[in-house]
Structure 1
Amino acid sequence: MTDPLPPDRTLTEQGLAPRGQGRLLLIACGALAREIMALKRMNGWDHMDLQCLPAKLHLHPDRIPDAVEAEVTRHRDSYDDIFVVYADCGTGGLLAARCAALGVEMVEGPHCYSFFEGNEAFATHEDEITAFYLTDFLVKQFDAFVWKPMGLDRHPELRDMIFGHYTKLVFQDQAGDPALLEKARDCARRLGLDFEHRRTGYGDLEVALRRKSGTN
């Protein structure tokens, strides 16, 4: 499986203004590429470029700070501002510390499940610890990011051991795609979990990008 954008590709083919005229680079997790591009199109944010890192870095969150720093260093001289479109994402505060040292901002929140729903709203869920979350991206890539890496394709008997403490699967629906909703229901069935559908849209991701674009 390939990520939505290769890690060495920056979207610069839109004829953007030269440095000094508000060019902004978004350094983002590949799992957010489609959502960010949709927001760019909807809002006409042509001054933004997008550089994605591989979504599979989430399997090794300790590598995320170094990967982000490498991209900031590589692109800093070409942009007026850089914004890191990651939450903490399992780095234990290391990414926030690295971004602070580099002098760049990042999205607030513990993970994308929180900022998609809105960090304040997400914090009110008392059953969050027993809920297994999927976004649009993870529903599409369920086999590649959940089923196969956990060995469930080879050892289905592991399902109850791995997911025994979960009570439900929560689908955080960004795009409102009926086909994805049905696939998410099937993911819940395969994991033996109850199903909950939350139509979150883009949540605090959209709020953060609007603020950075100056259109909030």
Structure 2
Amino acid sequence: MIPDDQTLTEQGAPPTGSGRVLLLACGALAREVLAVKSQHGLGHMDLTCLPAILHNHPDRIPAAVETAVKEHRGNYSDIFVLYADCGTGGLLRATCDRLGVEMLDGPHCYSFFDGNVAFAARDEMAAFYLTDFLVRQFDTFVTKPLGLDRHPDLRDMYFGNYDRLIYLAQTDTPELQNTAKACADRLGLKYEYRFTGYGDLARALTSA
């Protein structure tokens, strides 16, 4: 089982330096990155994930990425950072530029899963998004951090300006669709389902 909220290092052949690429990813992307690697035969890429809980603390992401890049860069020809801006206000891009490593394009994972061009063209300012990861971890990353398990009356304060929940699905999984619909019902939001697959994440990895 992939530890969604902990650091993950892929098990496999030890890095050999020349020709190998380290994928330094948000823990929320672990399943998806491993799936893309398997589908496209990207055996020269190794995966290390930072804790997914950084999703709730974007100000900590640039420093965590810098520490990991400095720790691993001596063992790899290249490092590819699998975060978008993710709420860092451009600080992660500045950090990656200074370190000389590439990162994913886009403002956040909802955008690159949907496809950055398509997402930018949509008028969905009142939409609350879930991915496969967030459907699985809804209570850990939404309900409990917002205190909705203890104070359900806070729902209107947090979600009163949203009109729908859109599940951006990476896999066509009926169980997750049912869970996402239940999440929408709990928040009092209209439910929409959109199958995205791996979107720009897959394109970025196959061209890296």
Q: Deviations over 1:146-189 (max 9, x none)?
A: 01111111111111111000000000010111100011000000
- What is the DSSP-based 3-state SS (H/G/I as helix, E as strand, rest coil) of the residue aligned with 1:166? coil
Matched, 1:25 2:19: no
CA distance in 1: counterparts of 2:199 and 2:180, whole angstroms: 19
Residue pair 1:28, 1:50 contacting (<8 A) in 2 also: yes
Matched, 1:56 2:53: yes
Residue pair 1:5, 1:52 contacting (<8 A) in 2 also: no
TM-score, length of structure 2 as denominator length: 0.96
Q: Deviations over 1:85-121 (max 9, x none)?
A: 0000000000000000000000000000000000000
Q: Among 78, 99, 102, which residue is 1:102 paired with?
A: 99
TM-score, length of structure 1 as denominator length: 0.93
Alignment of 1:139-178 (within 5 A): 139-178=135-174
The 1:5/1:147 distance shift into structure 2, 3 A limit, reads closer
**Structure 1: runs of 5 or more not aligned:** none
Report deviation, 1:12. Answer: 4.5
Q: Among 199, 203, 207, which residue is 1:203 paired with?
A: 199
Report deviation, 1:41. Answer: 1.1
The 1:156/1:198 distance shift into structure 2, 3 A limit, reads same
Q: Among 174, 184, 187, which residue is 1:188 paired with?
A: 184
Residue pair 2:15, 2:75 contacting (<8 A) in 1 also: no
The structure in which a higher percent of residues are strand is 2
Residue pair 1:64, 1:95 contacting (<8 A) in 2 also: yes
Report deviation, 1:3. Answer: 3.6
The 1:56/1:6 distance shift into structure 2, 3 A limit, reads closer
Q: Which amino acid aligns with 1:105?
A: E
Residue pair 2:29, 2:133 contacting (<8 A) in 1 also: yes
CA distance in 1: counterparts of 2:53 and 2:15, whole angstroms: 32
Residue pair 2:15, 2:76 contacting (<8 A) in 1 also: no
Matched, 1:11 2:10: yes
CA distance in 2: counterparts of 1:194 and 1:125, whole angstroms: 17
CA distance in 2: counterparts of 1:142 and 1:52, whole angstroms: 20
- What is the DSSP-based 3-state SS (H/G/I as helix, E as strand, rest coil) of the residue aligned with 2:23? strand
Q: How many residues align?
A: 207
Q: Which residue of 2 aligns with 1:136?
A: 132
CA distance in 1: counterparts of 2:139 and 2:47, whole angstroms: 26
Q: Among 26, 38, 42, which residue is 1:41 paired with?
A: 38
